[in-house]
A and B are shown apart, each in its own frame.
Chain A
């Protein structure tokens, strides 16, 4: 049983990872991520990149919905803004990809802040509907503007780094995963400072937040902007990954996917966004794999089990909502508590 952790400075106590064990586990995880591309096949690399992109976007939505309490169903459309920005810059301007990604984030942050304007007046479901309205408008723009290639969309060249085309998952992995890691670190840092605390204050009790000197509109828009910045960068990475951006790339159902991801993962925890997005991306694939194992024994299993897979996936989400409303992050917290208290029980 761990009784306490010794710290001799406030800096030590304010650190993000404040024990040796945490830091070693993190280093180990980093090592696994670094070795992974060399041992995994192309399929798993593809999945890893997709998970990382979804994690980045879900973390952004978590800042807005999980931490600030503003429900948004515009995350997919925001990713679309980022993806189109990258594609247009690649095709028309030809700037290097890190610049394009930043530009995608900045553009989307701006769009997000405008979409967030109604949030001063409306909350909850009403705000969700307002963001759906905004995504419908954005989709209309994507599908009808000549700059975005109308219904055909845009095909773009791969990202280039030092004269090399980054067009394989193996190469893109080294771009996508570090960027996602940096974004997660940024989000974690945010909540160690006054900005993040203000977001949580707005979520928990907005009247009280005002009395403490937090201007509501400015902080709600800031939250929208940061969240959209994350969506924009994630969308930009998505564009480099798939290299075709069409109006159908970011349907409304994807926004629901991200909302489900943070609910399943755990709203208002950084770990929740990571676990939720990984879970939501991987479980359908894992189920597909399981179905694949059965096919030698039941020749027509594939046809029969495909719908069952979807049902199982849906049932898993419902199960989580009922039995683990705090999400996957809470399970992790419980595991940690168990080991801290061992051999005693809570």
Chain B
């Protein structure tokens, strides 16, 4: 599934550094997410993966470096403006609106693309009504149907099991008409079956929707199975990147994950797992 010639980069991070007080969370991180691919960022806890995501979505302003989205420098844009351009993300600890129904949560994803103003809203006339009905239809027929969550559309999100909440968060991100979808640990805490479902949805989003995906994930099995490109972070630096199989063999990666020791032995263990 890996193409040797990836498409042009949708997202390009150039030499981004980020520091909190004396702690350097990221130092000169550069990476690209090629159009129509799945790029995974892996690394031990505290490697700076989520900090990188927060820098890309605009919560942290990097001390140096640039972030380019479709060739345009977005480093100085606020998060809402980045969202409007087509940068969607989910969170590690689900960030849904717990009191709202699944349907309303998903509708919120489209916010930036709707035009209804306060006056339209108060009277619920013309534009407001047209937009709402078109949005409802699209959500029902494209997103809810696609993610197989018809049965819970009226349920308040807070009452749903964890795996379904993750799926609703994906649905909301899809409603944003994303060009790039950033998933922060999409299968963390899921059982095997839920993980497989989610992996299938992520692949389908790439194939059917043509959305570029950048994800942080700890589940190595899934990362190696579905990614086109893997980037390894450790202590805020990119220590390796390449196709999944290449990265797996990289001694620096093995030592970052398993500690230094007999690299050959550990590497063999990894291969054995991969073959299984």
Contact = CB atoms under 8 A, between A and B. Distances in A.
Interface in A183-226: 186-187, 189-190, 192-198, 200-201, 204-205, 207-215, 222, 226
Interface string A127-165: 000000000000000000000000000000000000000
Interface string A10-46: 1101100000000000000000000000000000000
Contacts of B197: none
A215 B80 contact: yes
A209 B91 CA distance: 12
A208 B95 contact: yes
A193 B116 contact: yes
Given A193-B128, A194-B121, A209-B108, 5 more contacts: A11-B129, A186-B122, A194-B116, A215-B78, A226-B118
A164 to B, nearest CB: 29
Contacts of B114: 193-194
B107 interface: yes
Nearest to A9: B133
Q: Classify chain B: how many residues form its interface, as a range.
A: 35 or more
Interface stretch (B96-104, B144-152, B213-221, B255-263): B96-104
Interface of chain B: mostly helix, strand, loop or mixed: helix
Interface of A: 10-11, 13-14, 186-187, 189-190, 192-198, 200-201, 204-205, 207-215, 222, 226, 268
Contacts of B137: 10
A212 B121 contact: no
B97 A200 contact: yes
Interface of chain A: mostly helix, strand, loop or mixed: helix
A44 B267 CA distance: 85
B176 A204 contact: no
B119 to A, nearest CB: 10
Interface in B120-137: 120-124, 128-129, 131-133, 136-137
Given A213-B83, A214-B80, A197 B107 contact: yes
12 contacts: A10-B133, A10-B136, A13-B136, A190-B118, A193-B114, A193-B131, A195-B117, A201-B97, A204-B98, A208-B91, A213-B80, A213-B112
B84 interface: yes
Contacts of A205: 95-97
A213 B111 contact: yes
Contacts of A207: 59, 95
A70 to B, nearest CB: 16
A190 B95 contact: no
A11 B133 contact: yes
A200 B99 contact: yes
A208 B57 CA distance: 11
Contacts of B112: 212-214
Contacts of B99: 200, 204, 268
B110 interface: yes
A204 B100 contact: yes
Given A186-B123, A190-B122, A204-B100, A210 B79 contact: yes
B89 A211 contact: yes
B87 to A, nearest CB: 9
A212 B89 CA distance: 9
A11 to B, nearest CB: 6
